[in-house]
A and B are shown apart, each in its own frame.
Chain A
Amino acid sequence: MSYTDATIQLLSPEGTLVENDVTAEYLPRVTALSDEQLREFHRQMVVIRKIDLDAANLQRQGQLAMWIPSLGQEAAQVGSGFAAKPQDHIFPSYREHVVAKIRGVDPIKIIELLRGLSHGGWDPKDHNNFHLYTLVLGSQTLHATGYAMGIQFDEATATGNPDSDEAVIVYFGDGSTSQGDVSESLVFAASYQTPQVFFLQNNHWAISVPVSRQSRTPLYLRPSGFGIPGVQIDGNDVLASYAVTSDNLDKARSGKGPQFIEALTYRMGAHTTSDDPTKYRENAELDFWTRHDAIARFELFLRAKGEGDAFFAEVKQEGEDLAADIRARTIALGVPTTESIFTNVYSEPHPLMDEQYAWLTQYEASLEGGQA
């Protein structure tokens, strides 16, 4: 499976801008980007790839229970992540490590989750509205739609001010499209005309099952049955991801209702470190997507624009430094307190929490006494 006639691509695999009737609608958003913004796209893609590879290695070394690689999906995530405005709310699935990073979530928070130290725990209010990862597939699409309904009830959207009008973007994958919650969220979104963008990363594999098992129709066509427009983009093209998401978010925030983007990309690695993709997929497919890699393509583009070796060396070094920093901090992470098992189950006092924590405290004290 690869691109189709419908796939919107702004940057060719050779690193040149694609100019035609379709891209003309989106290219002004690309040309409006400063050189610094373009460099930042590249920086984020390179740095997260290094962090991602190192985190997978940390799992192999026994430092993490699991890692969820994002290798290959950097462009889909970086482009859409930068398309969101500060006032927008982002509901991730569980692989959007670089979107988290762009919105100010320290990658160590994701490490904590996968090391068995937390269930996420960051406060979206303090992290530029980047919500927690959701491991039950598709559940977050309904939360995103409900949140977007709230934005609408608050009249915090479609006022005509793009700098304050709010919108929501929700991430999910090709496997999740088979979940009932995703269909229900499309129903609710269409019904209430919510200000939101559904951002589907079709990475072609739900663990070991190909997307052809999930859908007999291209997934960007599915929302049309719900009354929601859908587009398909080259998800390995960071400029397409940025420009089309930015366009769709602007539509959503200006009262045009929900939008749907299918980003064609590829999970270059395993589903998680518990998986072995050599058991179920062909090398030819991997070769195709290697030739369409997001970072190599964008480097060609930047070099043609005049970026030199110094910048690329600097970015590489930054990735190595940050990955080293995360490795060191991972190994130094402590274990949460026993009390934390009980503290936030409820917001208000609860007799079972008090009784059971009191019992556990006494029990642990008795063990210490026994050892003395």
Chain B
Amino acid sequence: MSIENLSMAKAINNGLREALKNDEKVLLMGEDIGPLGGVFRVTEGLHAEFGGKRVLDTPLAESGIVGTAIGLAMRGYRPVCEIQFDGFIFPAFDQITTQLAKLTSRHEGSLQMPVVIRVPFGGHIGAVEHHQESPEAYFAHTPGLRVVTPSNPHDAYWMIQEAITSNDPVLFFEPKSRYWPKGDVDTSASGIPLHSSRVVREGTEVTLVGYGPMVTMLLQAAEIAAEEGTSVEVIDVRSISPIDYGPIIASVQKTGRCVVAQEAPGFVSVGSELAATITERAFYSLEAPVLRVAGYDTPFPPAKLESIYLPDADRILEAVDRALAY
């Protein structure tokens, strides 16, 4: 075991460094990711270490970044694109959904598309419009893509490396509210495959399910619930396409109650999908409907209102109480 105490930003930075070292075909490309190290400094130092041919400051054009990454992947490279902020991924939406996601299928398997798209996402940073969004459902809805999101530095270190070695395109959503808090990273082993969900706190009465930035909030809620005498289990979904339902269904079969939480708007969302599938697969174990806690179905509000918009421990506990009341 080799443990380092790192922020998630630094853990991803170290993971990217390992990937660049391990495979000369790995390239990083994006806006301001070179000498600046990215607006969140996730690529800090990598340009100096690996040079401008491995860490590319691209022109300011998201469709151009993803479209040229596709061409580079056709050439045998493994590009890792950085989209500067969640709300700026949409100029690249066409290249991601009509091209990247479909090229392996269109080539009947003769072409692989090992492209990773890193997207800092989610709220809690008090930023302006387009800088705090959670667009993951659009990509989870698109066949041909894989979508993952780490909730802690250890997972981030390993999941970015596993995403880069995947031969399928991976959308890698980085919870920017979790970039700075530190956590232990075991750099000797990941301990769990990329597309696995995991129980991060054991409990017996209610199962809380979430991913990315929401996991911290679920753990906080579980702590408060414990103080109030309720035993809550927390599951970190980690991979939102595909979803590993094994640990989730096993937990719900045990607890009989489930609350799904996310920052994204709830309508037609990853939470909707989780709730529907959990209901289908654990129907006879459920004592209450699967409840959802989500961002409201509005545009992300101005930052001074984000604490009202974003689900917090209190809103999660309100749902826990409702689930227990059935």
Contact = CB atoms under 8 A, between A and B. Distances in A.
Interface residues of B, number: 43
B80 to A, nearest CB: 14
Interface in B292-307: none
Contacts of A344: 104-105, 107-109
Given A132-B106, A345-B105, A147 B58 contact: no
B166 A348 contact: yes
Contacts of B76: 150
A80 interface: no
B256 to A, nearest CB: 25
B143 A149 contact: no
Contacts of A340: 108
B108 A154 contact: no
B70 A345 contact: no
Nearest to A350: B242
Interface stretch (B9-17, B91-99, B212-220, B228-236): B91-99
B33 to A, nearest CB: 15
Contacts of A147: 71-72, 74-75
A128 interface: no
A64 B13 CA distance: 52
B71 A149 contact: yes
Contacts of A187: 59, 61, 64
A153 B64 CA distance: 18
Given A142-B64, A147-B71, A150-B72, A348 B168 contact: yes
A146 B166 contact: no
A363 to B, nearest CB: 17
A144 interface: yes
A86 interface: no
Interface stretch (A115-123, A208-216, A217-225, A319-327): A115-123
Pick from B68, B109, B111, B112 the residue with the most CB of A within 10 Å.
B68
A148 interface: yes
Contact of B106 (A119, A145, A180, A343): A119
A44 interface: no
Nearest to B102: A119
Interface string B68-88: 111111111100000000000
B167 interface: yes
Interface in A106-131: 118-121, 123-125, 131
A348 B64 contact: no
A54 interface: no
Main SS at interface, chain A: helix
B203 interface: no
Contacts of B111: 123-124
A366 interface: no
B107 A120 contact: yes
Interface in B183-214: none
A181 interface: yes
A7 B167 CA distance: 46
B2 interface: no
Nearest to B108: A121
Given A121-B106, A136-B99, A184 B64 contact: yes
A121 B107 contact: yes
A275 B70 CA distance: 32
B144 interface: yes
B67 interface: yes
Interface in B245-296: none
B98 to A, nearest CB: 5
A345 B144 contact: yes
A145 B144 contact: no
Interface string B157-197: 00000000011100000000000000000000000000000
Contacts of B71: 142-150
A142 B105 contact: no
Nearest to B113: A347
B110 interface: yes
A118 B110 CA distance: 14
B68 A145 contact: yes
B59 A142 contact: no
Interface string A154-171: 100000000000000000
Nearest to A147: B71
A139 B67 contact: yes
A265 interface: no
Contacts of B69: 146
12 contacts: A124-B111, A132-B106, A142-B64, A142-B71, A143-B67, A147-B74, A150-B72, A150-B75, A180-B63, A180-B91, A181-B64, A345-B105
Given A142-B63, A348-B168, 9 more contacts: A132-B106, A142-B67, A153-B72, A184-B67, A188-B68, A343-B109, A344-B105, A346-B168, A350-B242
